[in-house]
Amino acid sequence: MGIQLEATTILAYRRDGVGVIGGDGQVTFGNTILKGNATKIRTLYNGKVLGGFAGSTADAFILFEMFEDKLQSRKGDIVKSVIDFAKMWRKDRYLRRLEAMMIVLNPSHLFILTGNGDVVEPEDKKIAAIGSGGNFALSAARALDRFAPDISPEKLVKESLQIAGELCIYTNTNIKILTTKE
């Protein structure tokens, strides 16, 4: 039986030429908090693409590096990059065992990537969440998107993650946010 890390909430949102990703800082092992200020989001391709991960930190670093290589080879084309990356992740036996999920976005596109080779573009094409508190953050973000149309994308992500951090024991309220614009 492998070690299971339960941690993280990552939320991504895009609207009106702005892409925002946020994540909490908690890393948990069993019923112990190992770290409260981890960074699970990053900028890619000279700040034009944002990414976040849920799962094993070491695995995520490998995946971020590989995805950034795909972005470089595809000259920043996020759509072609996610397809190439998913094919590579799915075909490689070693990579399939990596325990992580990713969200990647730019102001025009948003995708969830998994080791099963899944490339999921959310139905509404503007909100996605992964991790232990992902459903809490997603629900809050949908409500704010619907009922507070004047809220800034950054504030929507921050408030939604704050709510997730108040509900999910594997998520805290040490929130980090990154933004990219067209």
Q: What is the pLDDT of residues 49-101, one digit of tens each?
A: 999 998 877 777 888 898 999 999 999 999 999 999 988 877 766 666 667 78
At 15 the pLDDT is: 97
Query: Torsion angle, CA of 129/90/170/33, rounded to 10 degrees?
Result: -140
- d(CA 139, CA 22) in angstroms, rounded, equals 15
In the chain, which stretches have pLDDT less than 70?
1-7, 92-98
Provide the annotated active-site residues. Answer: 8
Rg (C-alpha) for the chain, rounded Å, is 15
At 46 the pLDDT is: 94
At 21 the pLDDT is: 98
At 2 the pLDDT is: 34
